[in-house]
Structure 1
Amino acid sequence: MWLQSVEDFLVLWGFPNCLGSIDGKHIKLKCPRRSGSAYFCYKNYFSIVLLAIVDPHYKFMVVDIGNYGRHSDSAIFENSAFYQQYIDNKTILPPRPLPGRDDPVPHVFVGDEGFALQTYLMRPYPKTGIINDTRRKKFNSQLSRARRVVENAFGILAMKWRVFLRAIETDAATADWIVKAACCLHNYIITKNNTKEYVDMETEEQDEPIRALLNTRPTNRRSNTAAFEVREKFADYFSSL
């Protein structure tokens, strides 16, 4: 199911070899009983994390729900069942050349600074390193364009299901089920209705997730040389357009 939209990213967002847009958001909770500081996040409230991979039609392809709010996106992703089944020491899809190129490049997800740069996951260049580098600026712009669908999906979710605008006053297990139900209903509504109204959205980010679903903490994990090389290949490609 989650691989059906691979070609759509190339057509709709101009980011070749992209498998999906990934991000994690905090879901506020009333302090769970006898939980100590497990659910306490750096935003100074209690939360669980909704980690999602989204397709170009703002549908959730993969979700991981219920991790402690103090955990980073990278840690949650790498401990997820999806990662262990499809990514860990595996090739999701065979590498293929970028349009007009001969050198095969891995298929990737696109994320923000909450994720470590990997051969299978692209994150933007640091802002301090692109001030005088138009090539890197163009890469960041293309990545942002592809990545914004996950931000918009969270915005649609929060505006449709108002429970996300305040702390959920249930135990953590029930909150997990509430979030799962909301994600399933979100996909059902988008499938049932005309998705074009969402695909045509041009806002960089929705206002709602900024207030309701907040970003997780950025990560400073070091990446390997292969990951940097993959990002450079994408940057070379976008700079030649």
Structure 2
Amino acid sequence: MSCGKIRLAAAIAAYLIKKKQIKKKTKRNVWVRNWVLRRIGLSFQNTLLEELRTEDSMQLINFLRMSNDDFEYILSLIQTSIQKQDTKMRLAIPPKDRLLVTLRFLATGDSFHSLMYLFRIPVCTIARIVLECCEALYQCLKSKYLKVPSTEEDWLQYSNGFHNKWNFPNCLAAMDGKHVVIQAPKKEGSVYFNYKGTHSIVLLALIGPNYEIIYFDVGCNGRISDGGVYNNCELSKCLQQNTLHLPSPRSLPGRTIPIPYVIVADDPFALKKYIMKPFPFKSQPVQNRVFNYRLSRARNVVEHFFGQIAARFRILRTPILLSPQKTRKIVKAICALHNCLLNRNSQYASSMTFNSPVSDNQGECRTEGIPERNMLPLELHNSRSQAQEPKNVRNEFAEYFISPEGAVEWQYRHI
């Protein structure tokens, strides 16, 4: 063997030995730090939190994003799921403290290191607690608060709400997507890189007239448009196969042509007989501009929903420094909490700052820009008559909104 090869082999061996030494785990100086052990008597949840509970309930709501009654109710539901067993070595962290840490993380988006000094719980433990509690919140709340309507009567309640509050009859829900910003995942390249220049996963939500979540899908990479996310989710398949038990087509008030019940959406979604989107481009006739305004007014429900959950759970306003899979658990827990708190008609619901539905300044018509184009399944491109049917439904809505039965006196001031 030549001298050069010998030196190369020696260099490689030295490099591997050094690398192994670096990876070697250093021995702990202490098992648990002393200031962490004093959590039971001196931690935040045993001092300031109790003072807020008895002296300043509004600040407690600001801290937890819910009232004390709501906190105790949710704790009672998930307590058994997050309870850990005490051992001879140490006492387990109580379920109450685990839920407090999780809610504070969702409310602020603080780093685990910041929460460590607040709650006197190590970072590695907080990382496990947050994910375990988020999973428990979703699993314990979904059966009661995240049920998709299964009967025509349930769907008609949503339709009546859109008609009475947002002046849009035969409407079941508003649909849109939100990018949840995350840190760039390892070894994923540009898969999660979106058009806004960040990495994200998409939350697609179907929202009712009172801002309740009817259906949601989260986890699709941000590189895909909202329309593409919809095409790949279960909701799209169920609507195509008509398995959601939607109400039968019905004519609009004062009209004679039966039309299907619809979901209102924006440009990235494909126009279908059960999905209404605005007329594209500018310079539309008055009838089409009125339709665009009325649709935008109803669709503002989902826009307000996204704004308010981000204001309530501010983790959604900062990049989440976790993997897409872990971020998905966090978003699912937030959706479950939103519906639960909204359903209880508590301080959470009364403090909403959504625009009044009876106001005459509901949003602006947003028809600018070129619609995104998505690749649709081939079976959707059938005959010309089937392609024309959604346009006929949209035209029927447009004619109704300028008729004496469907027009509102202030709609022409916003077109």
Which structure 1 segments of 5+ residues have no match?
Answer: 206-216
Name the CA distance, whole Å, in 2 between partners of 1:167 and 1:200.
25
Q: CA deviation at 1:84?
A: 1.4
Output the TM-score relative to the length of structure 1.
0.87
Match of 1:232 among 360, 380, 395: 395
**Contact kept? 1:8, 1:56, Cα under 8 Å:** yes
**Contact kept? 1:57, 1:199, Cα under 8 Å:** no
Name the CA distance, whole Å, in 2 between partners of 1:105 and 1:135.
18
Q: Which residue of 1 aligns with 2:275?
A: 121
Q: CA deviation at 1:59?
A: 1.1
Name the CA distance, whole Å, in 1 between partners of 2:362 and 2:401.
19
Q: Identify which range, 47-56 or 93-102, moves more after superposition.
A: 93-102
Q: Deviations over 1:47-70 (max 9, x none)?
A: 000000101111111001000101
Q: Deviations over 1:31-84 (max 9, x none)?
A: 111112111111111100000010111111100100010112222112111221
Q: Which residue of 2 aligns with 1:49?
A: 202
Name the CA distance, whole Å, in 2 between partners of 1:22 and 1:198.
20
CA RMSD between the two structures: 2.2
**SS of alignment partner, residue 240 of structure 2:** coil
Q: Which residue of 2 aligns with 1:187?
A: 339
Q: Which amino acid aligns with 2:164?
A: V
Match of 2:312 among 146, 152, 160: 160
Greater relative CO, 1 or 2 (CA 8 Å, sep 6+): 1
Q: Identify which range, 32-41 or 167-176, moves more after superposition.
A: 32-41
Q: Which residue of 2 aligns with 1:107?
A: 261
**SS of alignment partner, residue 139 of structure 1:** helix
Match of 2:167 among 7, 10, 14: 14
Question: Compared with structure 1, are the counterparts of its residues 127 and 15 closer, same or farther at alpha carbon in structure 2 (3 Å cutoff)?
Answer: same
> Of Structure 1 and Structure 2, which has the larger fraction of its residues in strand?
1
Q: CA deviation at 1:90?
A: 2.3
**Contact kept? 1:95, 1:107, Cα under 8 Å:** yes
Name the CA distance, whole Å, in 2 between partners of 1:143 and 1:196.
26
Which structure 2 segments of 5+ residues have no match?
Answer: 1-147, 150-154, 364-369, 382-386, 408-415
**SS of alignment partner, residue 5 of structure 1:** helix
Name the CA distance, whole Å, in 2 between partners of 1:229 and 1:199.
36
**Contact kept? 1:96, 1:106, Cα under 8 Å:** yes
Q: CA deviation at 1:11?
A: 1.3
Q: Which residue of 2 aligns with 1:139?
A: 291
Q: Which residue of 2 aligns with 1:62?
A: 215
Question: Compared with structure 1, are the counterparts of its residues 84 and 156 closer, same or farther at alpha carbon in structure 2 (3 Å cutoff)?
Answer: same
Q: Identify which range, 27-36 or 87-96, moves more after superposition.
A: 87-96
- Alignment of structure 1 residues 65-84 onto 2, 5 Å: 65-84=218-237
Q: CA deviation at 1:200?
A: 6.2
Q: Identify which range, 26-35 or 74-83, moves more after superposition.
A: 74-83
Runs of 4+ in structure 1 over 3 Å off: 194-200, 202-205, 220-223
- % identical equivalent positions: 37
Q: Which amino acid aligns with 1:71?
A: I
**SS of alignment partner, residue 282 of structure 2:** helix
Name the CA distance, whole Å, in 1 between partners of 2:286 and 2:242.
34
Q: Deviations over 1:166-189 (max 9, x none)?
A: 111001101001000111111112
Output the TM-score relative to the length of structure 2.
0.52
> Of Structure 1 and Structure 2, which has the larger fraction of its residues in helix?
2
Question: Compared with structure 1, are the counterparts of its residues 137 and 197 closer, same or farther at alpha carbon in structure 2 (3 Å cutoff)?
Answer: farther
Name the CA distance, whole Å, in 2 between partners of 1:141 and 1:186.
28
**SS of alignment partner, residue 173 of structure 1:** helix
Name the CA distance, whole Å, in 2 between partners of 1:196 and 1:8.
18
Name the CA distance, whole Å, in 2 between partners of 1:103 and 1:197.
41
Q: CA deviation at 1:134?
A: 1.3
**Contact kept? 2:159, 2:171, Cα under 8 Å:** yes
Question: Compared with structure 1, are the counterparts of its residues 199 and 165 closer, same or farther at alpha carbon in structure 2 (3 Å cutoff)?
Answer: closer
- Alignment of structure 1 residues 33-44 onto 2, 5 Å: 33-44=186-197
Match of 1:23 among 165, 176, 189: 176
